[in-house]
Amino acid sequence: MKKILLCFAAVAAVCMLGCQHPTTDGKCHIRGTVNGPEYEGKRIFLVPLTGPATAETVDSMEIKGGKFEFSPDTMQMYKILLDYHYRYGTQPLLVVAEPGNINVIIDSISHATGTPQNDSLEKWKEATEKHNSEYVMLYRAQKKAQADSVHARYKQFTRRMAANMKEGTLHDFLNGLYPLTYKKKLPDGRVVTMNADTNEEVK
């Protein structure tokens, strides 16, 4: 009897772990819900963040039972957004297509979690929301120095996150937001490298 109980407990434990960490077929599965009955039957779109948005690159489907699902083949950054007629009150969502099950919620504040890059992207989006709120408040209060300080810390946070990732779709996206240098053409025709923070030439 004890052996039977132990076997049952082991099977139950395996089932629980399987439910907590669902396996995938090596493909990207975006499974989402949209909060609000007014969106039932409306179309939702998966749009490449960069490149042409054409019939060949944009995917869409009808929301049924408050749910939708996409399985993109191209591993890149996408935007998930509702038909523009019904988009008011919802937040368009950035998502990284990568192998695994990505859980999406479309609402006034939208979320995507479940895979390594999307979990990291969620942390960056939270920091971005906080930065935007603080920066706008200080800027409107005409506290420019404090606003600039908040923005400088946010830039460094974004750069550190990109550096820690080293490679991947999200790394490339974050790394391109605040590069350390940029090129500038001088009146004499020379092209020099400039520090993006100080706008001084890098010798």
pLDDT for 16 equals 38
pLDDT mean values, one per 10 residues, the chain (203 residues):
38 37 75 94 96 92 97 95 92 96 96 97 96 96 95 96 94 94 92 91 88
| pTM of structure | 0.80
Gap between the Cα atoms of 92 and 88, Å rounded: 10
pLDDT for 164 equals 94
Q: For the chain, how far is it from start to end, CA to CA, in angstroms?
A: 79
pLDDT for 24 equals 57
Strand 67-70 with 28-34, pairing: antiparallel
